[in-house]
Structure 1
Amino acid sequence: MDNTSITYVYDATDIVMGRLASKVASQLLKSHQSGTKDKVIIINVENAIISGGKDRIINDFKARYELNHPRKGPFYPRMPDRIFKRSIRGMLPYQKKASGRAALKAIRCEIGCPSHLSLDELPDNHVLGDISEIKKDLPERFMRLGEISIAMGAPGHRWKKEKGEA
């Protein structure tokens, strides 16, 4: 069993959320089954996209969110990083196996890009994840995860750029 674990860093900008979530879930399950205990950090999750028409996407997310009882659940998130992590959780055997729960603990979703994770220079034991097989052209109709969160009532000032910023 190898004690060195690698942290994979994925940039979710302009990538379909389901494709990246599926890749990350399968990668983490394989690593936990092999005993390497790798970790994954996904940055810029507010720029991940969901394909489809705006009305359909917002209605689907609002129906999921409003299904719950405020105190009893099911609790569905509104923030983009929590939505992304919840979609990965749906692809893991979270409730049935300890490997699914361990894989979920090894995932960190970040709004924006933290200063220590600039894609130019990554820290030791951090590797940029390979997205070549899931990177496709943008679909004709899509919404970004940040836009969906704002439509559901999340505080968008936390990740929206001001007009003066690049």
Structure 2
Amino acid sequence: MIIDGKDLVLGRLASFAAKRLLEGEHVTVVNSEQVVISGRKEATFDVYDAWLEVRNLTNPRKGPFHLKRPEELVRRAIRGMLPFDKPKGRAAYRCLRVYIGVPRELASKEIQTLPEASLERLGTRRFIRIEALSKHLGGKF
């Protein structure tokens, strides 16, 4: 299943994808930079800035490793909805692919959208795109 992430709410997209992955399907998300997070831009930036400050003082090379690219942020949100500490969750996570834009090999295939996760159903104008969040965090893509 190939899902177009343009104007889809991150949490709703992630829960839908996680459910399909646990059912054994292969899920591919394209246009991950166009996924949105609901809420005020400043509040979202504050949450992610605080998350960036978490670090290991004894040896920073051991983590935590902070993701900044749009496809990594979407992939990590989906991983958060999987039982990743169990073999079933890890196997499902391996069936997930996330891309910025639409790769050439997927351009000719049928790409679906999710009306139940659409930005139009949000009912608010306060949202931020993953692309803007990634640029704020220092992601280079």
**CA displacement 1:38-97 (0-9 Å, x = unmatched):** 2111001001000111111011112112212332222220101001111111101001x1
The Cα shift of 1:136 comes to 4.2
**Residue type matched to 1:100 in 2?**
G
Amino acid at match of 1:132: P
Per the alignment, residue 60 of structure 1 pairs with 47
- Computing the radius of gyration from Cα coordinates, the structure with the larger value is 1
Instruction: Determine the structure 1 residue equivalent to 2:3.
Output: 10
Matched, 1:104 2:93: yes
User: Is the CA contact (8 Å cut-off) linking 2:34 and 2:131 kept in structure 1?
Assistant: yes
In structure 2, the gaps of 5 or more residues are none
Is the Cα contact below 8 Å between 1:11 and 1:44 reproduced in 2?
yes
The question of 1:146 aligning with 2:136 is answered no
* Matched ranges for 1:1-150 at <5 A: 8-31=1-24, 38-69=25-56, 70-95=60-85, 97-118=86-107, 121-122=108-109, 127-129=110-112, 131-137=114-120, 139-150=124-135
TM-score, with structure 2 as normaliser = 0.89
* Higher mean C-alpha deviation, range 141-150 or range 58-67: 58-67
Quick one: which amino acid aligns to residue 82 of structure 2?
L
Q: What is the distance in 1 between the residues matched to 2:91 and 2:45?
A: 31
Report the Cα distance in structure 1 between the residues aligned to 2:84 and 2:28, rounded to whole angstroms. Answer: 19
Aligned positions, number: 136
Q: CA deviation at 1:134?
A: 2.1
**Superposition RMSD in Å:** 1.5
Q: Select between 138-147 and 18-27 the one with higher mean Cα deviation.
A: 138-147
Go from structure 1 to structure 2 and tell me whether the alpha carbon gap of 1:84 and 1:29 turns closer, same or farther (over 3 Å shift): same
What fraction of aligned residue pairs are identical, expressed as a percent? 38
Counterpart-to-counterpart distance in 2, 1:111 and 1:62: 23
Counterpart Cα distance in 2 of 1:62 and 1:50: 15
Per the normalisation by structure 1, the TM-score is 0.76
* Structure with more relative contact order (C-alpha pairs < 8 Å, separation 6 or more): 2
1:112-138 Cα distance to aligned partner (Å, 9 max, x none)? 1111212xx31xxxx534513222415
Mapped to 1, the partners of 2:71 and 2:119 lie a distance apart of 22
